[in-house]
Amino acid sequence: MMTIEEFKILSELLFPDVDKTPEYYIEKYPQRNLPEGAKVTRFAPSPTGFVHFGGMFPSTVCERLAHLSGGVFYLRVEDTDSKREVEGAEENLIREYDALGIKFDEGFVVSENGEIVEKGDYGPYRQSDRRMIYRTFAKRLVEEGKAYPCFCTAEELDAVRAAQEEAKEVPGYYGKAAKCRDLSLDEVKAHLANNDTFVLRLRSNGSPDNKIKFTDLVRGNLELTENYIDHILLKSDGMPSYHLAHGVDDRLMGTTHVVRGEEWLPSLPYHLQIFAALGFKAPKYVHVSQLMRMDGTAKKKLSKRDNGASLSYYNEAGYPSETVHEYVMTLLNSNFEDWRRQNQNENLKEFPFTTKKMSSSGCLFDFVKLNDVSKNVISRMSAEDVYAKVLAWSEKYDKELFEMLSSDKDYAVKILSIGRGGAKPRKDLTVWTDVKPYIELFYDDHFEIKDDVPDTFAKEDIKNILSDFVSVYDDNDGQDVWFEKIKDISEKNGFCKDVKQFKKDPGDYKGHVGDVSMFLRIAVTGKMNSPDMYEVMKLLGGGKVIARIKKYTDSI
Ligand code: GLU
């Protein structure tokens, strides 16, 4: 074991580039001035080129915890793994989150003119720009004898691992495998003189016989084996491992709650050791379950290749961002759906989100639920809102729809208003790709007859009914008068004007008023199912209604 003086010399030898002290940084990033109980959270993705939908879960928890408590929610880009670097991945990630309406208070934001800007007093928020900060803290750990350089080559480490596996021991750098743990200063100097590359390892003071107690805000009280492995703090390129960066950054940036994927739970004892070694108080932790899907009867992780796994999918497929947020909340908090039933028109942000209602057994992804949520979300939007959102979406993804919508805004809003509002709004739209087929009938250039009247009805009867309707139709009729006219026409042509009556004696009639409406519906809308026909006719106006009916009559 080296002496305190030797540790000091070692730290100078290993970090000639470091000219600041940990105290300098601690002073530079003072405690945040926030109200009592305010939470500071961060979303800390590693940009790898693929933005996984699963990231919406920790980021949503972070956002809610921070903003419900008057705190701060920031974005930190964790790009210390140069092997995983992908050109444009960071920008892509920031833009995708922004497109879904996730707004960070600090970190990276998309400005009004569309540029990405770094914002906040606790930056830099990109880990590759914080290299010297990590190295400053690493130096201090060496100085205090809590970290040491390891010169083992990849081959040596492979051999150690193989021997451990052979002996059925836990693999890792510890015990007799930790060959560099007690190198003398002269030995280290010799390696350095030789230009040998090295990593920096934590000199763990843990033991496999000890347990640590720990409380996760979702998983509750846990007992985990203490870390006894001398894991890597700095990699051979001088950049930190995730673990060291986590300790340094979350302390300097004032994170109070670390919300991250459950795959990090096994590293937690190591992280707590790092916090202790650095002399920092550890934050609170929330480990979020992974996103699963059903594969037959088995649960599987939602993997990159699965439909819906990519965050960009949702915008492209035409799900409004509101749907994505609502869906994520539905999966995250078990009491959300009840709340939504009781607060139909409240903004999602009013929901009293709490980690206490989060489940520790994986969220299950499925399209049926997603679509159901989406239908409801869209049905609660105003026609103006739907119009604005579809317009923006179609500009990017469906030029033809964009033209239709922008040709006459008032007309489009009126179409989208049909059946909207009230206690039981229509739920025709699930995704924005549903809009074109839904509104086509209102545009002559796109209108076509899609359904046929069943051939159980005589063509003569259909023609007579349609012609009777043309002769009495009046744009000024209110809905009651309009419907009375349809009933009269039914009766006149041998169709029962009352469905109940018809059901009693079906043999007495050729059909009923519903069938008559169906003839009209097909002639005017081209489809068996359409929004409220009275509303449709009003919007189209008598000229178009009559022209369509005549054209249809001629075609059968
Ligand atoms: N960069 C880590 C990841 O993408 C973040 C984990 C964390 O939030 O601490 O998995």
107 Rama sector, left if φ>0, alpha if ψ -120 to 50, beta otherwise: left
pLDDT in tens, 303-322: 999 999 999 999 999 999 99
**CA 46 to centroid of ligand 1, rounded, Å:** 7
pLDDT confidence of residue 363: 85
Q: Is the pLDDT of residue 188 over 80?
A: yes
pLDDT in tens, 446-494: 999 999 999 999 999 999 999 999 999 999 999 999 999 999 999 999 9
**CA 246 to centroid of ligand 1, rounded, Å:** 9
Of 493, 489, 442, 447, whose CA–CA distance to 470 is shortest?
489
Nearest CA to ligand 1 atom 2: 45
Average pLDDT, the chain: 95
pLDDT confidence of residue 165: 96
46 lines ligand 1 (CB under 6 A): yes
- Enumerate the β-bridge partners of residue 72: 40
Which residues make Cβ contacts (< 8 Å) with residue 555, sequence separation at least 6? 449
pLDDT confidence of residue 537: 97
Contact between residue 7 and residue 15 where contact means Cβ atoms under 8 Å apart: no
pLDDT confidence of residue 360: 82
pLDDT confidence of residue 8: 97
pLDDT in tens, 359-390: 888 789 999 999 999 999 999 999 999 999 99
Question: How large is the average pLDDT for residues 243-250?
Answer: 98
Instruction: Place 249 in a pLDDT band, splitting at 50, 70 and 90.
Output: very high
Pocket test of ligand 1: the residue of 42, 43, 46 to mutate, having most ligand atoms within 8 Å of its CB, is 46
Question: How large is the average pLDDT for residues 47-51?
Answer: 91
Instruction: Place 515 in a pLDDT band, splitting at 50, 70 and 90.
Output: very high
250 lines ligand 1 (CB under 6 A): no
Q: Angle, nearest 10°, between helix axes 131-143 and 268-278?
A: 80
246 lines ligand 1 (CB under 6 A): yes
- The alpha-helical segments, DSSP class H, found in 318-446 are 321-332, 336-342, 367-379, 383-397, 399-407, 409-417, 435-439
pLDDT confidence of residue 421: 85
pLDDT in tens, 434-445: 999 999 999 999
Token digits of residue 325: 């947020």
pLDDT in tens, 129-142: 999 999 999 999 99
536 lines ligand 1 (CB under 6 A): no
Length of the chain: 556
Contact between residue 344 and residue 376 where contact means Cβ atoms under 8 Å apart: no
pLDDT confidence of residue 215: 96
pLDDT confidence of residue 439: 96
Token digits of residue 72: 């701060």
Q: What are phi and psi of 153, to 5 degrees?
A: -85, 165
